[in-house]
Amino acid sequence: MSFRLVVGLGNPGSEYVSTRHNIGFRVLDAFADNRGAEPWKKERSFKGELTSMVDDAFGKVILLKPQTYMNDSGRCVQKVCSYYKIPPEEMAVVYDELNLELGEVKISLAGSAGGHNGVADILSRIAPRFARVRVGIGQKPLKEMALADYVLSKFSSDEETIVAASMERYVDSLVRLLRDGPEMAMNHINRKKKNDDSNSI
């Protein structure tokens, strides 16, 4: 399976840059920098920011950051997929995951939106046959805290340290998915980390 489109989910605007909900944007930015992608360009017709790269490891890939706000992410994704004739199975989506601890990442090929409105909107507009790169942000600290308040809150300084230390692993997960395919990537990324290899990626 080859991938032609990678989508990072988040909200546009400077006020959202460091929020938990924008980790998908941050991972995609880091991935683009790491692999030497072209500069990002705003495409009004798609309501998104796009760039592309041609990589020796996995060929040409389009990167997309929807600028429609999270709950309407699927509209932008649908437009790009339709224009470039990209089927769902050739797309990967990077987004924040409540059910994974901060610093963790997992890859999957199926499943529900799990309460994530951006993923839910994509699922409502295209077939569910796309890869998911789920980046952990951890559970709410208090059960009574509104979910929207939590995902739109900013990481603490200690949490930012974890995010920075984990970014290489996030990027590596995406590289492995595109280069090796979902099965091999899942076998490597989704396994439980051992105490003696916590620093290896």
What average pLDDT does this structure show over 34-51? 96
Domains and CATH numbers, the chain: 5-197 (3.40.50.1470)
Catalytic residue among 4, 20, 21, 134: 21
Residue 66's closest CA among 50, 90, 86? Answer: 50
pTM: 0.93
> Looking at the predicted structure, is the pLDDT value of residue 119 above 90?
yes
Share of the chain above pLDDT 90, in %: 91
| 21 included as an active-site residue | yes
For the residues 96-123, what does the mean pLDDT come to?
A: 95
Tens of pLDDT, residue by residue over 55-82, are 999 999 999 999 999 999 999 999 999 9
Sheet containing strand 5-8, edge to edge, reads 41-43, 48-55, 59-66, 5-8, 91-97, 131-136, 105-108
43 burial (CB, 10 Å; 0-12 / 13-18 / 19+) is middle
